[in-house]
Structure 1
Amino acid sequence: MGITKLADLIRSDAPDAISYKDITHYTGKVIALDTSIVVNQFRAATPLLSPLTGLFFRTLTFLEHGIKPVFVFDGKPPGEKKAVLEKRAQTAGRNYSNWTGTASSQTKECLQLLEYLGVPVIQAPGDAEALCAQLVREGTVHAVASEDMDTLPFGANILIRQLNAKKDSEVIEYSLPKLLEKLQIGRKEFVDLCILLGCDYCEKIPGLGPKRALTLIQKHRTIEDVVLHINKKTHPVPNIWKYREARKIFLDGPQSSAPELIWTEPNEEALVEFLCHTKRVKEERIRNRMVKFRTMRENKREEREKEKAEGGGKQTSIKDFFRVTRKRVQPVDNASSSTSDRKRPKSK
């Protein structure tokens, strides 16, 4: 679900916090991706096919554009999220039972695929979006790519949506610093605003729309003071309202030390063995895509070198892309790790 109607509120009250980019704007940048969002997009779009194929094609497109993706996986979900997860599972016609954060069979397959593609993966101790935001704050990555707006209250300075690599599609970029400046509130007040709008970790006050919620936060600054100045008959406060717990999750979520990251050349033979011989994808399709990947990557590299040469810049080698920037750690099940220790195809 993300944050209810936050995108609408930003468009109306802080449009300067939004910019529209081409995918080439992110060439050379490290981008953290909330993996469950990507997987669920493909699951929703092609329910009869494995999302692994979509993940394979999209990752190669990122690499062709010189984007350095880092895929972050969900860990053990906060207890406050139980009701939301159960409701989503029921809507999808299944039961949700993974309260330990142990990697599912599909997650393990995604991890295997990404390893063969040569891109780094990270297992978050909790929600992936929280760790993605931490990576942005610490400067490990440039931005978070996710369709969920809740990476903003988690503190991600840059959130990008629609990084789907489709032709002629615009990437939407949100700037948290510009947003806070325009709304004239701090991050703590922004977190309280998001809780009032509606988040995954607690109920919201019924009947309180986004415009009214923003006005109340701008005037009274905290949920505690907002509650003192609303009509309890028209906006009844939930009897057991865990807004403090939700606030703590956004502001003090589980922290992990940023792992070192490595990008390596895709292993074509391993990809063919895994996708074709195990997942029954046509080998010709995979081979042809790998040929296209190498050709397009080389063409784009030559274009970038030409531009740099014309501008007097230093030419680069393809090895520059796959150099070690940080050492990758192996992802592990959260049930057995504490240091390396959604989702939905569309946010509100």
Structure 2
Amino acid sequence: MGISGLLPSLKSIQINKHLSEFSGQTLAVDAYVWLHRGIFTCPTELATGKTTTKYVDYAMHRVRLLRHHKIQPYIVFDGGPLPAKKGTEAERKQRRDENLAKANALAVQGKHTQAREYYVKCVDVTPQMAFQLIKALRAEGVPYVVAPYEADAQMAYLERIGLVDGIITEDSDLLVFGCRNVLFKLDSVSSTITSISRADFGSVTATEGGISLHGWSDSQFRAMAILSGCDYLPSIPGVGLKTAWTLLRKHKTADQVIRALRLEGKKAVPRGYLEAYKLAEKVFLHQRVYCPLDEKLVSLIEIPQDELWDSKQEAYIGG
């Protein structure tokens, strides 16, 4: 979930703010982030099929907290599975199944504390759970939208067209989608949240062995994130965030980085990696989203008319 190492690399521009500083704003919220957190309050009940609404209570407590500070929450739900994430989702399901088997085995032995640790790892948010939250949102008149595919792209679109002023998430992917104001680590006790503004990227410098984004374009930032490994494309073995940044500083573009790595022969570049990279980039740029204003499906960023697309590319972004 997100780009490994990205948030720590941006620590110098992370600002802790009180929710009151966002009074009068509309903030998009990744519903599944709050639902996943809510799962931690009732993993055993969910994994063993017992009825509970604790996960809804968890999310609605945070909805009311935002409203208390005169913030309008706009809740965004994930929709259908995106073809680009098929491999990632399959791996996650396998891990959940393995953890459920371990949890059940420990529960049979009476080791309930240990079993709970594995129940937490095996429970996932279901459409039925999302619907329970939607019913609670409707009851209190809270606006929401179900994305055709991923909430990340949907929230980025809502910010792009000005329907929201920022985004509450725990996923650093939102920065790669081009979002301007991203908020992390909501503390419901102190009513504080950590803010990252894209406008501050230029002040990120390579102190203490980190990365510098001074003078970097959105395209270069996106290339660094994808090359380091993302949900749509595993990284080249041995290429993490810092290595991707170093390579892009030297070779400028992802195409040149990949060609240089192949020529050097020091890292094993998978067959078809350049084509896979270009597909991953298209997902970050053009994924299908829902436009609440026109009430139709559109691309996050409109596909240029002179750009040729085949059926595989269309399907990959949710065509």
Q: What are the superposed Cα offsets for residues 298-322 of structure 1, whole Å, 9 maximum, x if unpaired?
A: xxxxxxxxxxxxxxxxxxxxxxxxx
2:81 maps to 77
The aligned counterpart of 1:240 is: 272
Structure 1 regions of 5+ residues with no counterpart?
A: 96-102, 261-328, 330-336, 340-348
1:219 aligns with 2:242: no
**Is contact 2:288-2:297 (8 Å) kept?**
no
Q: 2:143 aligns with which of 120, 123, 133?
A: 120
* Structure-to-structure mapping, 1:154-169, within 5 angstroms: 154-167=177-190
Per-residue deviation at 1:255? 3.7
Aligned equivalents of 2:71 and 2:98: distance in 1?
A: 35
| Candidates 33, 36, 39, aligned match of 1:40 | 36
- Listed one character per residue, the Cα deviations across residues 15-50 of structure 1 (whole Å, up to 9, x for unaligned) are 2x3222112211211000111111001113432353
The equivalent position to 1:177 in structure 2, one of 199, 204, 212, is 199
Instruction: Name the structure with the higher strand share.
Output: 2
- AA paired with 1:5? G
What secondary structure sits across from 2:288 in the alignment?
A: coil
Q: Do residues 204 (structure 1) and 235 (structure 2) align? A: yes
Whether contact under 8 Å (2:236, 2:269) holds in the other structure is yes
RMSD: 2.3
Q: How many residues align?
A: 252
Structure 2 length-normalised TM: 0.73
Q: Secondary structure at the match of 2:291?
A: coil
Contact 1:140 / 1:258 at 8 angstroms: preserved in 2?
A: no
- After TM superposition, the score normalised by the length of structure 1 is 0.67
The structural deviation recorded for 1:338 is 4.9
Question: Which residue of the partner structure matches residue 9 of structure 2?
Answer: 9
> How far has the Cα of 1:79 moved from its partner?
0.8
Which whole-Å CA distance do the structure 2 matches of 1:259 and 1:88 have between them?
35
Tell me what 1:143 maps to.
166
Letter in 2 for 1:162: K
Give the Cα–Cα distance (whole angstroms) in 2 for the partners of residues 185 and 55 of structure 1: 37
Distance (whole Å) between structure 2 residues aligned to residue 234 and residue 32 of structure 1: 43
Per the alignment, residue 282 of structure 1 pairs with none
Aligned amino acid, residue 257 of structure 1: C
In percent, how many aligned pairs have the same letter? 29
For residues 147 and 112 of structure 1, what CA distance do their matches in structure 2 show?
24
* Partner Cα separation in structure 2 for residue 90 and residue 200 of structure 1: 16
CA contact (8 A) 2:27 2:167 kept: yes
Aligned counterpart, 1:100: none
Q: Does the C-alpha gap of structure 1 residues 215 and 129 become closer, same or farther in structure 2, counting only changes over 3 Å?
A: same
In the aligned structure 1, how far is the partner of 2:252 from the partner of 2:289? Answer: 26
- Distance in 1 of aligned mates of 2:288 and 2:22: 28
1:63 corresponds in structure 2 to: 67
Structure 2 stretches of 5 or more lacking a match? 46-51, 100-125, 205-212, 299-319
Contact 2:261 2:269 (C-alpha < 8 Å) held by counterparts: no
